[in-house]
Amino acid sequence: MFAWLQPRPKEKHAMGNVSWLRAAVLGANDGILSVSGLLIGVSSAEVSQRNIALTGVSGLIAGALSMAAGEYVSVSSQADLETADLDLERQEMEQHWDEEVIELTNVYIKRGLDRELARTVATKLMEHDALEAHARDELGINMYSIAKPLQASLSSAGAFSTGAILPLITALLSPIEHVTFILTFSTLFFLAFLGIVGAQIGGANRMRAIFRVTVLGVIAMAVTSLVGKFFETPT
């Protein structure tokens, strides 16, 4: 009774997961492929178990630090640009308030509002929080999710390490004469599982996600295996 009075449940959109999902999948995928590629390359050259272990551990540490450093620099640059734009916008509002109202009004007109309504909306939003309104609607910056370099750096390193540890453990537990074979198929399994997880969280097609990551994985492993064969240690 009176069910029509009940609020409709809020929709759950996949776009809410896009930022962290992209970083997590990218890091884990990079970790799996990078370390697996290294291990398949050296195992194809018929090196010792000790060399395989050393290569895997070195690849994991180097890759995690590289991801952390790269992400920190990248996100720091993004944060600097966002801060500079916000500072400029703050200065413009202090010196040219009316012009900024007109600027925001034109943004809403381009989005489909008539001029009178657009000016009313712009005025009201600027009275509430002028910088937030311009940041969101003019610059496309979300004031509540400004880039955080340290957080991004640690997340990328953690995601890479999580992915990289899987082929490393697999290689260490496999018989030396079957490392390449076992690594190849286990890596495809890890990539397929990662594709399923990413598709599930992001609401995407599972088969398309699996196909995408496994095909690219096969290509990467084939290339590194050929390189290893080229430098195969003579018996």
Going by pLDDT thresholds of 50, 70 and 90, the confidence category of residue 18 is very low
Distant-in-sequence, close-in-space partners of 198: CB < 8 Å, separation ≥ 6: 21, 25, 204, 209
| Residue-wise pLDDT tens digits, 153-198 | 888 899 999 999 999 999 999 888 888 888 888 888 888 888 787 6
| 13 lies in some domain | no
| Residue-wise pLDDT tens digits, 26-67 | 788 889 888 988 888 888 777 788 888 899 999 999 999 998
- pTM of structure: 0.70
| 211 lies in some domain | yes
The predicted pLDDT at position 168 comes to 93
| 186 lies in some domain | yes
Distant-in-sequence, close-in-space partners of 225: CB < 8 Å, separation ≥ 6: 40, 41, 44, 180, 184
Residue 22's identity, in one-letter code, is R
CA-CA distance, 49 to 224, in Å (whole number)? 18
| 11 lies in some domain | no
Per the structure, the complete domain to which residue 101 belongs is given by 18-230
Residue with tokens 């994991």: 60
- Confirm if 32 and 195 have CB atoms less than 8 A apart: no
| 6 lies in some domain | no
| 7 lies in some domain | no
CA-CA distance, 70 to 78, in Å (whole number)? 12
Domain count, the chain: 1
CA-CA distance, 26 to 19, in Å (whole number)? 11
